[in-house]
Amino acid sequence: MTLTRRNIGLLLAPLLALTMWWLTDGLEPQARKVATIMVFCLVFWMTEVIPLSMTAFLGVVMAILTGIANINTAFQNLGHPIILLFIGSFLLARSMTRHGLDKRIALFILSRKVFQKSLFSMFLGFSLVSYVLSMWVSNSVTVAMLLPLTIGVLQLIQDPASRKGPAPYFLLGIAYSASIGGISTIIGSPPNLIGVNYLAKEGISIDFLQWMIMTLPISLCIYALMLLYVRWCLKTFKFSSAGIQAYVEAQSREQHPVSKGELITMGVFVLAVVLWLSPGVFNLLGLEEAYTFMSTYFAESTVAILAALLLFLIPPGQENGGEGTLTASDLVRIDWDTILLFGGGMALGQLVVSSGLADIIGAGIIAFVDPAQLVLLVFVLVAGVVLLTEVSSNTAIAITFVPIIIGILNQLQLPELYPVLGVVIACSMAFMLPVATPPNAIVYGSRQVPIGTMVRTGLFLNLVSSVIITAWVIFYMSR
């Protein structure tokens, strides 16, 4: 048998699961079964034996067959409101991509003279587009859209076959900016939604604006240090602005006039953002009745589905033959693997909590951790998750470890909100390897990013992000 990653997973998963069963003889039966299933699923996730979502469903089916879960409740998370938020936000992003609104926004920003003055200012333009768009659009879609634009500009700066020019840093920069920007909103990255849902189960509610207020400082700090690092790397390369300006102008001229589909998409997007932010604004202003009304009738999930429905209902003139801005064909083009992974994974995560396994792991860690060493504890949790997400899906890591970390915090009698926030953000800070995130894989696939450059740059950002996240978490907890 060929020793592929998939075959390694097929061999290791049952072996490690049986080892876990043997090692946990002293646990309660339910917790022991859940621990065994989670180890099996974690190996499948890390080696991608089958699609990630199907691994989550496999874990739930195993829980049903072993008597841990009830068939009537096991798959309830597939109807969770956050699933609707996923679907609605993915459809909104799909409409942007379909009608070219994302590319128009990118070209508009890159055509500004301020971004054409130097090599770094040009990089700043690309990274800023990636950073901002990824708050609202899938980071993989953002990077896939920017990649041809970036390579087109780079061809004017260096030989595409050369790896000694600025290309690796440009491409890594847009990938990293997408990952960093995605932590800034609840819908920016799947782990954000997972963290919000687990905190809600602990009685801690976070609205859209509150999330942005807490995470934007962290995101901006990591982004700023990434910019400083890339600026230092780019300072040795020569630059001529004339060719860049000509290329961007040519790309802008090829753009068709603004279509009705773009206008409708932008209008619906602005409406969704306003409705998402309104409860938080009313809460800050002390308007309790307005806050209660908006939270009740215009929750994030409701707004996302409403936005998607409007896109299906409103026709963009004759552009779609009288159909809506989105059509039935767009439904199959969104990331259903992530959606199903979330539903199945949340069911598994809930079993970790309900079986008592999270509390047992928490109690075990307490024996080796001094609660007084809060900074060290938070840093170890954050850095550990950053390293784990280098070799596995950030969504799978969040699903697996957030409930365990909540159990640790409960055992230590520490507040849950900020450490969980830090761990969830850490799930998106994977910069070292192509397999770590889709943006990394996309830019590595361009064949212009040496693996050594990615590892060195990624390692630096992994360490920086772990320190920054830890510092902010400790700051928030000390207020």
pLDDT tens-place string over residues 398-427: 887 888 888 888 877 888 889 999 999 998
pLDDT at 442: 75
Tens of pLDDT, residue by residue over 317-339, are: 765 566 888 998 888 888 787 77
- Decide if pLDDT at 182 tops 70: yes
Query: What's the pLDDT tens digit per position in 21-72?
Result: 999 888 888 889 988 998 898 888 778 788 878 888 898 899 999 988 888 7
| pLDDT exceeds cutoff 60 at 195 | yes
φ/ψ of 244, rounded to 5, equals -65, -45
Q: 3-state SS of the chain?
A: CCCCHHHHHHHHHHHHHHHHHHHCCCCCHHHHHHHHHHHHHHHHHHHCCCCHHHHHHHHHHHHHHCCCCCHHHHCHHHHCHHHHHHHHHHHHHHHHHHHCHHHHHHHHHHCCHHHHCCHHHHHHHHHHHHHHHCCCCCHHHHHHHHHHHHHHHHCCCCCCCCCCCCHHHHHHHHHHHHHHHHHHCCCCCHHHHHHHHHHHHCCCCCCHHHHHHHHHHHHHHHHHHHHHHHHHHHCCCCCCHHHHHHHHHHHHHHCCCCCHHHHHHHHHHHHHHHHHHHHHHHHHCCCHHHHHHHHHHCCHHHHHHHHHHHHHHCCCCCCCCCCCCCCHHHHCCCCHHHHHHHHHHHHHHHHHHHCCHHHHHHHHHHCCCCCCCHHHHHHHHHHHHHHHCCCCCHHHHHHHHHHHHHHHHHHCCCCCHHHHHHHHHHCCCCCCCCCCCHHHHHHHCCCCCCHHHHHHHHHHHHHHHHHHHHHHHHHHHHC
**Model confidence over 362-390: pLDDT tens digits?**
666 666 666 667 888 888 888 888 887 77
Instruction: Kindly tell me if the per-residue pLDDT of 84 is higher than 50.
Output: yes
Which of the four pLDDT bands, split at 50, 70 and 90, describes residue 156?
low
Cα gap 46→42, rounded to integer Å: 6
Q: At 432, list the tokens.
A: 């070292």
- Residue 205's pLDDT band, with cuts at 50, 70 and 90, is confident
- Give 261 or 445, the one with higher predicted confidence: 261
Is the distance from CB of 418 to CB of 429 less than 8 angstroms?
Answer: no
Burial call 207-230: b when 16+ CB within 10 Å, e when fewer: bbbbbbebbeebbebbbebbbebb
To which residue do tokens 């798959």 refer?
75
Token readout for 395 is 């969504």
**Would you give the end-to-end CA distance of the chain in angstroms?**
57
Average pLDDT over residues 271-292: 83
Nearest to 134 by CA among 171, 181, 101: 181
431-474 tens-digit pLDDT: 887 767 778 877 877 778 887 888 888 889 999 999 999 999 99
pLDDT on residue 87: 84
| Residue 218: band (very low, low, confident or very high) from pLDDT cuts 50, 70, 90 | very high
The answer to whether the beta carbons of residues 399 and 56 sit under 8 Å apart is yes
Residues near 113 by beta carbon (within 8 Å), at least 6 away in sequence:
none
Q: How far is CA 407 from the centre of its chain?
A: 23
3-19 tens-digit pLDDT:
777 888 899 999 999 99
Residues 6 or more apart whose CB falls under 8 angstroms from that of 36 comprise: 17, 18, 20, 21, 24
Of 108, 186, 116, which is closest to residue 153 (Cα–Cα)? 116
Q: Is the dihedral of CA 234, 235, 236, 238 positive or negative?
A: positive
C-alpha dist (Å) from residue 404 to 354, 360, 368, 385, 428: 11, 9, 16, 12, 18
207: alpha, beta or left, given left = phi > 0 and alpha = psi -120 to 50?
A: beta
